[in-house]
C-alpha cells in the first residue's frame, strides 16, 4: 500500500499541461506528420521512377 500512496503523492506534484498546450502540441505533431508523409511520398515517386527507367534501360540492352 505504501507504493500506491507514494505514487498518488507524486501524481499530485505533476505539472499537467493546459488544454491549449495539448492542442498546440497535437497540431505540431500532425503538421510534422503531414510534412514527413509528403516528403516520403515524393522520395518514393522519384526513386520508383529512377529504378523503373534504369531497369528498362538494362533490359533493353542500353
Whether 23 maps to a domain, the answer reads yes
Whether 50 maps to a domain, the answer reads yes
CB under 8 Å to 17, separation ≥6 — which residues?
A: 25
Q: Rounded CA gap, 7 and 28, in Å? A: 31
The C-alpha cell that represents 33 in the structure block:
506528420
Whether 28 maps to a domain, the answer reads yes
26-33's contacts with Cβ under 8 Å and 24+ in sequence apart are none
Whether 2 maps to a domain, the answer reads no
- Structural domain count of the chain: 1
Segments of the chain with pLDDT less than 70: 61-62
Whether 4 maps to a domain, the answer reads no
Q: Which domain holds residue 54?
A: 18-62
Whether 61 maps to a domain, the answer reads yes
pTM of the model: 0.66
What's the distance, CA 14 to chain centroid? 26
Whether 10 maps to a domain, the answer reads no
Amino acid at each position: 500500500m505504501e507504493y500506491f500512496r507514494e505514487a498518488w503523492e507524486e501524481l499530485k506534484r505533476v505539472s499537467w499541461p493546459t488544454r491549449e498546450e495539448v492542442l498546440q502540441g497535437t497540431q505540431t505533431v500532425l503538421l510534422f506528420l503531414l510534412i514527413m508523409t509528403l516528403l516520403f511520398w515524393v522520395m518514393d515517386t522519384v526513386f520508383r521512377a529512377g529504378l523503373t527507367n534504369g531497369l528498362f534501360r538494362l533490359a533493353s540492352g542500353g
